[in-house]
Structure 1
Amino acid sequence: MDAELRLGHGSEPGTTQGPLINPRAVKVLIHTPSVCQVTHQISDAVSKGAKVLKGGKRLEGSYMEPTLLADVTTDMLCTREETFGPLLPVIRFDKEEEALAIANACNVGLAGECITLNLYSQMWRVAEALEVGIVGVNEGLLSTPEATFGGVKQSGLGREGSKYGIDEYLEVKYMCFGGLKP
């Protein structure tokens, strides 16, 4: 994880992770606006039995260490809220159906990820079954200018980006004409 993730300014060569989107994003909890959402989710998970395997610290400015959590359960905030920061909670499961039930139990659905060696039937089955707007299969960098961006459930409706993003600005009209003979 250390070799692959390098914090820094986005324009610096070698940087793989920049800061949280802006200082306001660091303080997003409505009832306690001085608390960072990501650190709040980490604290909640640790208080309920999760272990921080890597990272977990808020750094200067809007930077946050990439954080890997183990022993995560579905009663933790990091599994029920959208996390707009470098947090990877790991939940153990035995069967594919169990993993899908855990992933789809959340009331938000912006993006999901499937890591698999079965590049045919499983990847298609899981990608179709995930209740999210964006799915990555063995790929963490999901956004490109050509791809739509948007979620389902409480992550919102509609899409932005790509040719589909313009649909929100269009009024579609069907017209049918009869009796037009040359």
Structure 2
Amino acid sequence: MSCSSTDLRTTATSVPAVPGAASDSGYAARMDEADVIAQANDTEFGLAAYFYARDLSRVFRVGEALEYGIVGINTGIISNEVAPFGGIKASGLGREGSKYGIEDYLEIKYMCIGL
């Protein structure tokens, strides 16, 4: 059975996937980085994304451009007790865990007093 990358990202797996999307060599080296990012972001979900790269400028560029609440770079293990957990889009809003988990329950007020 063959499937296009669109099929793979939306139906063949339980999570969005772009095959070979963020590699510094091979298949992805022949792909335009902006197209790969657009394909990865073309989903209603946004919990976690993962990619591998050697180039530090690519790490920051792609990591910032991915529309996901959690991004794993050069690792598949991204959850721990101090990291905020949560997604964006249809994967949820807000964070749980870490110091950021409490923010949904707080109202922040700025008060400026002139004396």
TM range (shorter): 0.7 to 0.9
Normalized per residue, the structure richer in strand is 1
- 1:90: how far off? 5.6
Question: What does residue 141 of structure 1 align with?
Answer: 77
Give the gaps of 5 or more residues in structure 2. 21-27
- 1:178: how far off? 3.6
Q: Deviation above 4 Å: which 4+ runs of structure 1?
A: none
- 1:91: how far off? 2.2
Q: Write the letter of the residue equivalent to 2:10.
A: R
Q: TM-score by structure 2 length?
A: 0.78
Q: Write the letter of the residue equivalent to 1:110.
A: L
Maintained 8 Å contact 1:111/1:135: yes
Q: TM-score by structure 1 length?
A: 0.51
Normalized per residue, the structure richer in helix is 2
**Counterparts of 2:89 and 2:78, CA distance in 1:** 19
Question: What does residue 10 of structure 2 align with?
Answer: 80
Q: Write the letter of the residue equivalent to 2:52.
A: I
Maintained 8 Å contact 1:108/1:154: yes
Question: What does residue 113 of structure 1 align with?
Answer: 50
Give the gaps of 5 or more residues in structure 1. 1-45, 51-71
Higher relative contact order (CA 8 A, sep 6+): 2
Root-mean-square deviation (Å): 2.3
User: Which has the higher Rg, Structure 1 or Structure 2?
Assistant: 1
Question: What does residue 122 of structure 1 align with?
Answer: 58
**Counterparts of 2:18 and 2:43, CA distance in 1:** 15
Q: Sequence identity, in percent? A: 47
Question: What does residue 40 of structure 2 align with?
Answer: 103
**Counterparts of 1:89 and 1:133, CA distance in 2:** 16
Q: Write the letter of the residue equivalent to 1:80.
A: T
Q: Write the letter of the residue equivalent to 2:39.
A: I
Maintained 8 Å contact 2:86/2:92: yes
